[in-house]
Chains A and B, each alone.
Chain A
Amino acid sequence: MFKVGDRVEVKTKTQTFVGIVMPAPEAEKDLLILKLPTGYNLPIRMNKEVTAKKIGEEKFEGLPTYRPEFKKLPFVSVIATGGTIMSRVDYKTGAVAPLKSAEELLLTVPELHEIVNIKRVHEPFLIASEDMTPAEWKKIAELAAQELNDEEISGVIVTHGTDTLHYTAAALSFMLKNLNKPVALVGGQRSSDRGSFDGALNLICAAQYCKSEIAEVAIVMHGSESDDYCLANRGTKVRKMHTSRRDTFRPVNELPLAKIWPDGKIEILNKNYRKRRDHRAETLVDTRFEPKVALLKVFPGADPEIFESLIEKGYKGIIIEATGLGHVPTSTQNKKMSWISSIKKAVDSGIFVGIAPQTLYGRINLNVYTNQRILEDAGAVGLDDMLPETAYVKLGIILGRTKNPEEAKKLMLTNLSGEINHRLEPETFLY
């Protein structure tokens, strides 16, 4: 009946309201939401006793346009992909939806222009983190490689939703080979329409990271609950550990690469990183990915038929999130509940079966208990201290590169991008 922005006069039995029509949730057909002059929204159920008429229109002003002024600063490029960091309130669905452009985002963080010049902003797609697939990882990797090989570019910032940010970080870590410069992945846990937008500090620190000597794919986000510093965590050794806190991304099984303050101070916490190299050292990109790869968690009572169904569906590789040091149901009282014969069947038919820890912290060690030796004998491969998510991404990439099971196994056990750490230092636990 009315469109958003209409100025209307609504008469109920006893009152008259004048206000601007705001979008109502799709499911609420008879609800007219009026923005009153006080700023409050008043939802009114339209029924026989209520009349409304249009008396004017409100022009919605857009945000000012983004015109960065040039300063003699290093260049970075931004790849914007969506997520909370690119979100504002959407009144249609009553939820948070993407900003119209990356320019709008940068407008909300003017400090960035004091740190770097933004050479290009790519917006290959704007999707929520949970909607990412390997196809999007490939696109981001290709754009990143293209930017990294531009001699003027000092580093690349990827803005992304936080839910699956660590999967994308792992994918870029493997897809970008011979990396020459920093790649920072950044998200936000509070949307950019609010004063407490955490993505601002994350973006500022990401810009600082892009000027650093660390040529690694890293997630750069809050290090604490305060807006004081960010951590740069290696893309293969980091995980979202909290549904809502700002400092949700924590390193697992190693220390963060660095602590980064918004003023540019950088404290290296982990000396094991690739150094920035001459731009002539080209970054290569290899985005081949085998889609028939799955990540499966075992749990008490888990029926091996779940696993069997993956064999039937033609999966080429399976990462099992095993319990403890690397267990699956093995010598169960009810023999039908043991996973061993299914795993053996899978391996015998050429499927790679990898074992990663559902404890996240610590290393898989298949030599401690008898049941584990049974698992190893069945052909499953313990994947050291690799995070299950990282192992899943790596397996897709490795099986995209080789169909040879022996070669795949060898590569899965080779440290390609910092995903395997042979020395676990005590202070890395619950960092």
Chain B
Amino acid sequence: MDYQKLGLKSGLEIHQQLDTHKLFCECPSEIRTDKPDIIVKRELRPLAGEVGKIDPAALFEKKKRKFYIYEAYSDTTCLVELDEEPPHEINPDALEIGLLIAKMLHCEIPDVIQVMRKTVVDGSNTSGFQRTALIATNGYLETSFGKVRVATVCLEEDSARRTAETPESVTFRLDRLGIPLVEIATEPDCKTPEQVKEAAEKIGSLLRSTGKVIRGIGTIRQDVNVSITGHPRIELKGVQELPQMPKIVEIEVQRQAEAIKSGGKLEGHVRNVKEDLSSKFLRPMPGAARMYPETDIPLVTIDKEKLAKAKLPEALESREKRFVKLGLSADLAKQVVKDVRLPFIESLLTKFQTANPNTLVSTFLSVEGEVKRKTGKEIKFTNEQFESIFDLLDEDKIVKESLLDIFIGLSKGESSSDVAKKFAKLSDAELKKEIEKIKKEHKELQLDKLIGIAMGKLRGKATAEKIIGLLKSKT
């Protein structure tokens, strides 16, 4: 397809959850799968917005006439999520992370921010609106196809998550409601489907480099805006995987081209991406009338001096290069920067200078799987356990050949100090004595047989090279 001729304009709207407590209360940002102990039933009403207009998206939802069931937990949700208490002041940690991200996107930060209420009557917010604030404008990001301008960065509360639906009601769980989200909206500067994907990747990598975003399924959501010449803007929701993005854009471009050909009135609207990557109508495009000030939260003045001093996190690409310089293999370095546990892995690499970084990282990444293969036991080791074992390795008290056995020992509930004793490395003198003993006992055997016996007996107490070296030596 000739996207230039079609006049493709595409932009992104990316929502990323931040790794801190909720935006307007002190509840943890914790998604739960156990049975909720609070059930509340509510209705929502369509209302006039700030400038006296009723929002078309709000009316559309109300016509469906539903009531809403909210599920909550006494220990991780409070009256704020239940819309039974006014919001607390904005979570300063979330604001700081949001502003840092804006700074990384070369944005301009306003002097003062005002939290708004965005009317939402699909029930996903108990209050009937989502709290959101514009925290930055006018930034950009570089792609190999050219600059993509960042229109706005907003800080907002995540909505409740839909867990069930009947003809009369929709059920939402309040665990997600209020988790801080940073919303990055680009200008429609992407000219090809591939550029959309690259821009999304770049933003994702930038967000992860902060180490302060929540990772995992559902923690980042990306919407794509698509329009070609002669067709109003369409918003595509529910893009799950980045590799699918070019295909999704391509299918939408085709749909728009056909819609133009078949004539009739074209209107901008929101569509939901289906499993086959095509999309279906979701709702009309929300109008600007749906926003009015959140009067329960005072204006927030931004501390510009503090922001100027804030250090930007190192980009993942630059970290990858640095890891290679530290001695990590290129493959492992690539894998590490994508890993959820990057901050911990990075701390291992700075903490342990003597041990081979490849041994540390590959053990950290794979030992749980290997233990499971050997013992059939599903196990998660703690960061402290990893650190204590790597400490021994770094101090040359154990050898890398014993690592798997040591972790198997830990998986059986043995303490780090006990397994350390069991697999303590032999001193050179002790090792020599053991080797001499083996040689004496098996005078008749060839070297390769001797190696087999010695390795079996001394495995995990000395390195293989050392054992073989001593067996080969005459004395």
Residues in chain A within 8 A of chain B (CB atoms): 12, 14-15, 20, 22, 25, 28, 31, 33, 35-45, 58, 60-63, 89-91, 94-96, 108, 189-190, 192-197, 200-201, 224-228, 243-246
Known: A14-B138, A194-B127, A227-B67. A39 touches B83 (CB 8 A): no
Q: Is B121 an interface residue (CB 8 A)?
A: yes
Which of the four size classes fits the interface of chain B? 35 or more
14 A-B residue contacts at CB 8 Å? A25-B299, A33-B114, A35-B291, A39-B118, A40-B134, A43-B113, A90-B295, A94-B293, A96-B295, A192-B47, A195-B44, A201-B43, A226-B41, A244-B79
Bound state CA distance, A62 and B52, in angstroms? 6
Give the nearest-CB partner of A13 in chain B: B108
Q: Is the CB of A37 within 8 A of B134?
A: no
Judging by beta carbons under 8 Å apart, are B52 and A197 in contact?
Answer: no
The answer to whether B84 and A245 touch across the interface, beta carbons within 8 angstroms, is: yes
Bound complex: CA A282 to CA B47 (Å): 40
Alpha-carbon distance between A39 and B298 when the two chains are bound, in angstroms: 18
A12-B108, A39-B291, A44-B110 known; 16 new pairs, CB 8 Å cut-off, are: A15-B137, A39-B288, A40-B116, A41-B116, A43-B113, A94-B298, A96-B295, A190-B83, A193-B292, A194-B117, A195-B58, A195-B119, A196-B83, A196-B127, A244-B84, A244-B85
- Asked whether A61 and B52 contact (CB < 8 A) given A40-B154, A196-B128, the answer is yes
- How far does the Cβ of A73 sit from chain B's closest Cβ, in whole Å? 22
Query: B116: which of A39, A58, A227 is its contact (CB, 8 Å)?
Result: A39
Contacts of A39 in B (CB 8 A): 116, 118, 287-291
Contact A195 B45 (CB under 8 A): yes
| Residue from A40, A224, A245 having most chain B Cβ neighbours under 10 A | A40
Chain B residues, Cβ within 8 Å of A91: 50, 293
Q: How far is the CA of A91 from the CA of B117 in the complex (A)?
A: 13
Q: Considering the chains assembled together, what is the distance between the CA atoms of A94 and B127 in angstroms?
A: 18
The answer to whether A228 touches B117 (Cβ under 8 A) is no
- Nearest-neighbour CB distance to chain B for A239, whole angstroms, equals 18
In this complex, what residue of B is CB-closest to A194? B128
List the B side residues contacting A63 at CB < 8 Å: 48, 52
CB distance from B45 to the nearest CB of A (A): 5
Within 8 A of A (CB), among B248-300: 287-293, 295, 298-299
- What is the CA–CA distance of A35 and B42 in the complex, to the nearest angstrom? 31
Complex CA gap A334/B398 in Å reads 74
Inter-chain CA distance A195–B55, complex, in Å, is 12
Most chain A CB inside 10 Å of its own CB: which residue of B40, B84, B110, B298: B84
CB nearest neighbor in A for B111 = A45
Shortest Cβ distance from residue A202 to the other chain B in the assembled complex, whole angstroms: 13
Report which B residues bind A (CB closer than 8 A).
Answer: 40-48, 50-53, 58, 67, 79, 82-86, 108, 110-114, 116-121, 126-129, 132-134, 137-138, 152, 154, 287-293, 295, 298-299
Q: How far is the CA of A38 from the CA of B119 in the complex (A)?
A: 13
Contact A43 B299 (CB under 8 A): yes
Q: Which of A89, A95, A224 has the most C-beta atoms of chain B within 10 angstroms of its own C-beta? A: A89
User: Which B-chain residue is minimally distant from A62 (CB atoms)?
Assistant: B52
The residue of chain B having its C-beta at the shortest distance from the C-beta of A226 within the complex is B41
Q: Given that A44-B111, A244-B79 are contacting pairs, would A196 and B44 also be in contact in the complex, using a CB cutoff of 8 Å? A: yes
Given the complex of chains A and B, what is the CA–CA distance between A36 and B293 in angstroms? Answer: 13
Is the Cβ of B41 less than 8 Å from the Cβ of A228? yes
How many Å lie between the Cα of A108 and that of B108 in the bound state?
40
Residues of B within 8 A of A90 (CB): 295
Name the A residues within 8 Å of B117 (CB-CB). Answer: 194
**Contact residues in B for A89 (Cβ distance below 8 Å):** 50, 292-293, 295
Residues of B within 8 A of A33 (CB): 114
CA distance A246 to B70 in the complex (A): 15
A111 to chain B, nearest CB (A): 10
Question: In whole angstroms, what is the CA distance A192 to B295 when docked?
Answer: 13
Q: What A residues does B121 contact at CB under 8 A?
A: 195
Cα A40 to Cα B42 with chains together (Å)? 28
Bound complex: CA A377 to CA B289 (Å): 68
**B108, B154, B288: residue with the most chain A Cβ atoms closer than 10 Å:** B288
Q: Are A61 and B293 in contact (CB under 8 A)?
A: no
Contact A227 B41 (CB under 8 A): yes
State the CA gap A60–B289 with chains docked (Å).
11
Complex: A418 Cα to B119 Cα, angstroms: 44
B288: chain A residues at CB < 8 Å are: 35, 37-39
CB nearest to B292 among chain A residues: A89
* CB <8 Å contact, A28 and B79: no
Cα separation A244 to B81 with both chains bound (whole Å) = 13
In the assembly, what is the distance between CA of A39 and CA of B176, in Å?
A: 24
In the bound complex, what is the Cα–Cα distance between A35 and B292 (angstroms)? Answer: 9
The CA-CA distance from A23 to B112 in the complex, in Å, is: 15
Bound CA span A15–B112, Å? 16
Q: Are B110 and A42 in contact (CB under 8 A)?
A: yes
Nearest-Cβ distance from residue B11 to partner chain A, whole angstroms: 13
A26 to B182, CA, bound (A): 30
Please give the distance in Å from A105's CB to the nearest CB on chain B.
12
On chain B, the residues within 8 Å of A37 by CB distance are 288
Choose among B45, B108, B132 the residue that contacts A14 (Cβ–Cβ < 8 A). B108
Chain A positions within 8 Å of B127 at CB level: 190, 194-196
